[in-house]
Structure 1
Amino acid sequence: MEDPSGTRTAIAEELGFEYADRIADLTLPEIADEASECLPTADADDWFGVWRRHGTSEGYPERCERTPVADGRCALHLPPDHEDRNRSDERLLHQSLEAGHDLVGARFGELSLAYATVDRSDARPIDLRHAEFDRLDATHAEFENAVHLDGGNATSVRLADATIDATLRAPGFTVEDTLDAADLRANGRRVDLRWLTADDVVFEKAVIAGECDMTACHCGVGDWRQLRVGGRAVFDRMTVDERATVRRADFRGESVSFQRAAFGGNSDFESISVAGNASWRRVRVEGSFDCSGAEIDGDANFSKVTFTGRRSLFAETVIDGTANFGSAAFSTGPRFHAADLDEVMWVKTEADGPVDCTDATISDGTLIQPPDGATKYDFTDATLGTLTITAPDRDTGSLGCCRFYNTTFDGFPFDRHAGQTDGHVRLHEYSDRHRDGADSIPDLISTYLKAKNGAKQVGADRVASMFFLQEMRYRRREHRDNLYSSTGSTASALVGFGASWTYALTMGYGERPLRTVGFSLFVVLAYANLFFFTGISETYANSLNVSFQAFVSLLIGSPATGNGTSNELLLASEAFFGAFCIALFVFTLTRSVRR
């Protein structure tokens, strides 16, 4: 903040610290460097309160240029109802501007400039700093010069449909009721409304060609619907006690910032458009927060935000840069339905409920769980790219905090999670939930089919194998359910169910070669018992020998023969099973070695 020339000592004394005699000799960088020793407060509002009483960097005129009419004051500095103030406020204003006079500290009653053209005889600003208005109505007015309203106050202000061709400055302006700037056209380089205070602030459909600075603005209700800002927009440390509406606002500058803003009620940022970066860092929202349909071409910073309302919506939000939710805290699970996030940072994000990313597209990002507890993420029907899941200690994070249901994987690093996919994998549910519930079997099949394809895409063959086994388990369950279904063919379902069980027992769907070995031993022993009890062999040891020879007859030549057609058929059938099992073993072994 600028320090008015010649007033440093006075400011320091009023703020009350022991280095007041030094402050006049220190430069602003030196003050900043020694802030811990020299400054009694870092609160910008406190500094502004003193600055407002001691003047601005542009300085005030030493004396009023108009002729005194009573009590040593001119007509504009007398109370609006003073008996010697015999001209209308509008006429006094125009006469002063035509004469080139300043209007600092002027006092007006109900000043009506509706549909008027307000300009000066020179290019200097219309200087209404610290002016007082009972009511200022500039509806459809046109201001050809810059307008300065620093430190002024009014009961109400109407700038609806007004046009200001140069800079608008009103830092510290106080409005008891409503500041209505709907459809305002500000064509200057900057609109400066820092520390503005009003009950209601309305900038609906206003167009600001240059920069807009509303730092530390305080209002009860704020309406910035369809506001359009051509330059940088700053709303840092803003306080809105009740409802804030920024729906469909268009920020075309390099950035828009709401850092450290506080919203006491619902905050509506639905369908806003940002050409550059956007920041809500350290924002606190007591009500619902709606950023659905927002389009942000740059980065979006939501780090360290606190949302205590019942809803936090980011549905169909498109962020082309990095979406940073580091250390954010949500009282309920935020919703990212159909959002398109180029890169997301969920670093130590906390939510009292799953982060709902249904149908979202996340191309890249990092997910790190908070040190205490685990935030859940629901990626139902989502498309995931190279999203890295990491534990708080930077180790590989657990997939158990995520639900992948009918999810498409496009580069997801499954190879980092190979150790977490051993055994019975259940991607479609959280680790603390162990039942399928109402999940659709066809969707579960699709879930693991997509997971298998995603794992194969990144070369995680071992992980792909586990997903394939889970896919086949649910296909088997589908055949079983069809047996009891009133629709479809029972015979077809029975054949499918039997075939699936056969594949599972004999070779583990091509993924378990040891199952083929076990099944082969079962066939050998079964036929040995059959040979012994049918009398083909007199001893059990001989029956085992005959059974083994028949099983491998394809490899070592003609099988052992017995007497009678029935005995020959038994031997031939085992030879058939033997050839079948050997082929299965070669197939499954080759498949597993490749993985």
Structure 2
Amino acid sequence: MSEGCEFFSSDAWNQRLTEFVVMSWDVETFLRKSQTRTSTVATFEKFTGSDETVDADTVAQLPIGQAIEDTDNELDITRSEVLETWRSHNQDRIPDKCPHDCYTTDAEYCLFHMDPEAHPKQDITTNEISKQVAETISKQGEQTKCFVGSRFSQLDLSNKTLQAPDNHPIDFRFSTFQQETSFSETVFEQNVKFKGAKFETVGDNSSQSKSEYNAHYVDFKGDFDFMRAEFRSEADFKFCTFLGDVRFNSAEFAAAAMFNYSRFEGRSDFMASTFTGKADFSKCRFDEVAYLNGTYDTAGIFNYTVFAGDVVLYRTIFSGKAEFFATKFGGEFDSGYAKFRGEARFNEAEFTDDTSFENSVFSDEIYLKNVSTESLINLTHSRIAGGEIVLPKGIDTPIFDFSFATLGAVSFDAPVEIVDELFEYVIFNRTKFKEFNFNEHQENLKPSWRIHTTVGDSPGSLLERRPRDREMLNALESTYNRAKVGAKDVGHNKAASEFFFKQMSTRRRQYLARFWNTPDWRKKGVLLARWASNGTIGLITGYGERPSYVIGTSMLVIPLFSVVYWALPSDPPTSGKFGLEYLIFSIQSFVTLILGSAPADSSVAFQFVSAIEAFIGAFLIALLVFTLTRSIHR
């Protein structure tokens, strides 16, 4: 080994770097960075052409390499021009010279930059290369740990602790790993950089990285295994493409984990992983099932991410915020028993298949504004402290199921065309209302105050078709009882009154349903008596909530008794024309216990009927006082 390695002046290096640059820069970035073009706007307009169907934003985000290769456009940009522009900025501080000596006196490159196909001719083994890498890393100095652009057929650094007497990073940027690469149980003491690296086949990478793991713009063509890995500083996987399965089971990320713009073409497994810092998966794409059920201590960001397969967040813990803005879920979404301790935002998310938040706990606020769904969003048994839910346009079936859930300070809204029927698109079944603001939604509840009826084949609609369904009636009574308690707790007495009325009327229907379904005649008698008693109280007083019912009943009792008096054989003690004497006597009898006894000169028959009317009148007057007092206190 004598002469310095000349790899950084070779065509192979230029080709490797160009391959990276044209895929990492988009059209807009190149035109903005370019200093040789007097008018980037003119170039962009030339590229987009006069076709009005071309979306400028889409074109601007195209990789510059893809734009150059597209024969349908007239983009006058070359790959070499892009590379020169990138070099002029040198954002990544690429070294100009390799710090390692050539492998032999007649070789052009060092051991790490040599073409792997030449290894057999030089009798170079995989063990020798792996040993040299480990020894080089252990030396002091920044340049000694520079492996930028290296080419490895195989690399085995498993079960090693790679450390040096300094803190300079281990630099594998733009390296190519052709066959199996193993980091099993490896401990990296320094920062490790893999930006632009290409892993054509990846083996076991159960490593511990005590500092930054930088791997953005990497193509991982095999399975990628970082099971039980430990990243003690920032892990940067932006713009990566994982062609095989990805396994980060039980991995620990002590700082930020950045996966922005990455693509996962195989199964993605982050089960039981711990993200102490921010976990950012914004604008990623997952083609297969994604197991993301871990612990997110700071934040889990999935904005604009596309999930083509199923998503599993079962028993996941979000201690900070969870963001899924405009996220597309192409498969099933399972967030059962998850805990969202910070804000959870699903605004404008698209759910295609079954969606479940069953038994999830939202300790802060949840936002579900204008979500798109093709199935019912299951929020049964969930606990929601607060938030905002806005129904989308164009729906014709319920989209939220809050059966057995606990709702806190959640506000609902809907488009103008369905705002009056807002709660017909939400299922409440034995739902608890804790600090729910009924006053805010009273315009949506008036005049019926019904929260059980829904569009489509849902519990409320089925009840109308099956009025004797005992189980459904029992659920309905429990639903209105819980709504009454919730309204009373927040001081909304009007809502509490209306829900109590619904509760009691549903109980009456239960008695009748049980009457028809019970073969025991003694039980039938008891149920019939309860049904009649409940119905009478409801008819006369509206279960103590309707003073107008008592007044209306009184207005019927007085004329009815006047007819009875007219039918008696004797004349009333009062005189009048056109039968008014009977009506006057009925009024006097109705208030007898208030004003005094019935006239003494009337017949026995008149006095007997008058006494009955007096008792009924006194009872109705007492009920009127009770219902008036109750309604005033409401």
- Normalised by the length of structure 1, the TM-score is 0.85
In structure 2, the CA distance between the partners of 1:362 and 1:174, relative to structure 1 (3 Å rule), is same
Could you tell me how far apart the structure 2 residues matched to 1:194 and 1:499 are? 75
Aligned partner of 1:383 in structure 2 is 406
What is the Cα deviation at residue 136 of structure 1? 1.5
SS at match of 2:381: coil
Aligned partner of 1:114 in structure 2 is none
Contact 1:233 1:256 in 2 (8 A): yes
SS at match of 1:178: coil
Of 301, 316, 319, which residue of structure 2 is paired with 1:294? 316
Of 435, 451, 455, which residue of structure 2 is paired with 1:411? 435
Q: Which amino acid aligns with 1:529?
A: V
Of 482, 496, 510, which residue of structure 2 is paired with 1:464? 496
Deviations 1:565-586 (A, max 9, x none): 4543222111100101111122
In structure 2, the CA distance between the partners of 1:447 and 1:94, relative to structure 1 (3 Å rule), is closer
What is the Cα deviation at residue 356 of structure 1? 1.0
What is the Cα deviation at residue 94 of structure 1? 5.1
Contact 2:335 2:357 in 1 (8 A): yes
Is 2:122 the partner of 1:85?
Answer: yes
Number of equivalenced pairs: 563
Contact 1:69 1:84 in 2 (8 A): no
Is 2:597 the partner of 1:573?
Answer: no
Q: Which amino acid aligns with 1:325?
A: F
Of 523, 527, 530, which residue of structure 2 is paired with 1:489? 523
Contact 2:130 2:156 in 1 (8 A): no
Contact 1:396 1:417 in 2 (8 A): no
Question: Which of 459-468 and 505-514 deviates more?
Answer: 459-468
What is the Cα deviation at residue 396 of structure 1? 6.4
In structure 2, the CA distance between the partners of 1:514 and 1:16, relative to structure 1 (3 Å rule), is closer
Aligned partner of 1:533 in structure 2 is 567
In structure 2, the CA distance between the partners of 1:392 and 1:262, relative to structure 1 (3 Å rule), is same
Contact 1:386 1:413 in 2 (8 A): yes
- CA RMSD in angstroms comes to 3.7
Of 568, 572, 589, which residue of structure 2 is paired with 1:550? 589
Deviations 1:241-299 (A, max 9, x none): 1211111110011x1100000011111112x1011011000110111111111111111
Is 2:392 the partner of 1:367?
Answer: no
Is 2:290 the partner of 1:267?
Answer: yes
Contact 1:405 1:427 in 2 (8 A): no
Contact 1:19 1:38 in 2 (8 A): no
Structure having the higher strand fraction is 1
SS at match of 2:509: helix
What is the Cα deviation at residue 219 of structure 1? 1.1
Question: Which of 165-174 and 133-142 deviates more?
Answer: 133-142
Aligned partner of 1:513 in structure 2 is 547
Is 2:326 the partner of 1:304?
Answer: yes
Could you tell me how far apart the structure 2 residues matched to 1:44 and 1:20 are? 10
Of 202, 217, 225, which residue of structure 2 is paired with 1:195? 217
Q: Which amino acid aligns with 1:525?
A: P
Could you tell me how far apart the structure 2 residues matched to 1:228 and 1:96 are? 26
Q: Which runs of 5+ in 2 are unaligned?
A: 1-7, 9-13, 48-58, 67-78, 573-577
Q: Which amino acid aligns with 1:318?
A: K
Deviations 1:411-456 (A, max 9, x none): 1111122233334443124244533256532221111011112222
In structure 2, the CA distance between the partners of 1:36 and 1:554, relative to structure 1 (3 Å rule), is farther
Aligned partner of 1:165 in structure 2 is 189
Of 413, 426, 435, which residue of structure 1 is paired with 2:462? 435
In structure 2, the CA distance between the partners of 1:575 and 1:470, relative to structure 1 (3 Å rule), is same
Aligned partner of 1:356 in structure 2 is 378
Q: What does 1:438-449 correspond to in 2, within 5 Å?
A: 440-449=472-481
In structure 2, the CA distance between the partners of 1:62 and 1:124, relative to structure 1 (3 Å rule), is closer
Could you tell me how far apart the structure 1 residues matched to 2:356 and 2:129 are? 57
Is 2:204 the partner of 1:180?
Answer: yes
Question: Which of 489-498 and 326-335 deviates more?
Answer: 489-498
Aligned partner of 1:323 in structure 2 is 344
Could you tell me how far apart the structure 1 residues matched to 2:233 and 2:538 are? 70
Q: Which runs of 5+ in 1 are unaligned?
A: 101-117
In structure 2, the CA distance between the partners of 1:570 and 1:148, relative to structure 1 (3 Å rule), is same
What is the Cα deviation at residue 361 of structure 1? 0.8
Contact 1:201 1:223 in 2 (8 A): yes
In structure 2, the CA distance between the partners of 1:35 and 1:172, relative to structure 1 (3 Å rule), is farther
What is the Cα deviation at residue 92 of structure 1? 6.1
In structure 2, the CA distance between the partners of 1:84 and 1:393, relative to structure 1 (3 Å rule), is same
In structure 2, the CA distance between the partners of 1:300 and 1:567, relative to structure 1 (3 Å rule), is same
What is the Cα deviation at residue 80 of structure 1? 4.8
**Identity across matched positions, percent:** 21
What is the Cα deviation at residue 319 of structure 1? 1.1
SS at match of 1:559: coil
Could you tell me how far apart the structure 1 residues matched to 2:423 and 2:29 are? 58
What is the Cα deviation at residue 44 of structure 1? 6.7
Q: What does 1:473-488 correspond to in 2, within 5 Å?
A: 473-484=505-516, 485-486=518-519
In structure 2, the CA distance between the partners of 1:212 and 1:562, relative to structure 1 (3 Å rule), is farther
Could you tell me how far apart the structure 2 residues matched to 1:510 and 1:353 are? 41
Could you tell me how far apart the structure 1 residues matched to 2:26 and 2:565 are? 109
Contact 2:116 2:153 in 1 (8 A): no
Structure having the higher helix fraction is 2
Deviations 1:341-383 (A, max 9, x none): 1201111111112211101111110111224336621110111
Could you tell me how far apart the structure 2 residues matched to 1:497 and 1:408 are? 27
In structure 2, the CA distance between the partners of 1:279 and 1:21, relative to structure 1 (3 Å rule), is closer
In structure 2, the CA distance between the partners of 1:193 and 1:363, relative to structure 1 (3 Å rule), is same
Could you tell me how far apart the structure 2 residues matched to 1:336 and 1:387 are? 16
Aligned partner of 2:105 in structure 1 is 69
Q: Which amino acid aligns with 2:257?
A: A
Q: What does 1:215-226 correspond to in 2, within 5 Å?
A: 215-220=238-243, 221-226=245-250
Question: Which of 227-236 and 410-419 deviates more?
Answer: 410-419
In structure 2, the CA distance between the partners of 1:236 and 1:424, relative to structure 1 (3 Å rule), is same
Question: Which of 522-531 and 224-233 deviates more?
Answer: 522-531
Aligned partner of 1:251 in structure 2 is 275
SS at match of 1:278: strand
SS at match of 2:631: helix
Could you tell me how far apart the structure 2 residues matched to 1:95 and 1:256 are? 35
Of 228, 232, 247, which residue of structure 2 is paired with 1:205? 228
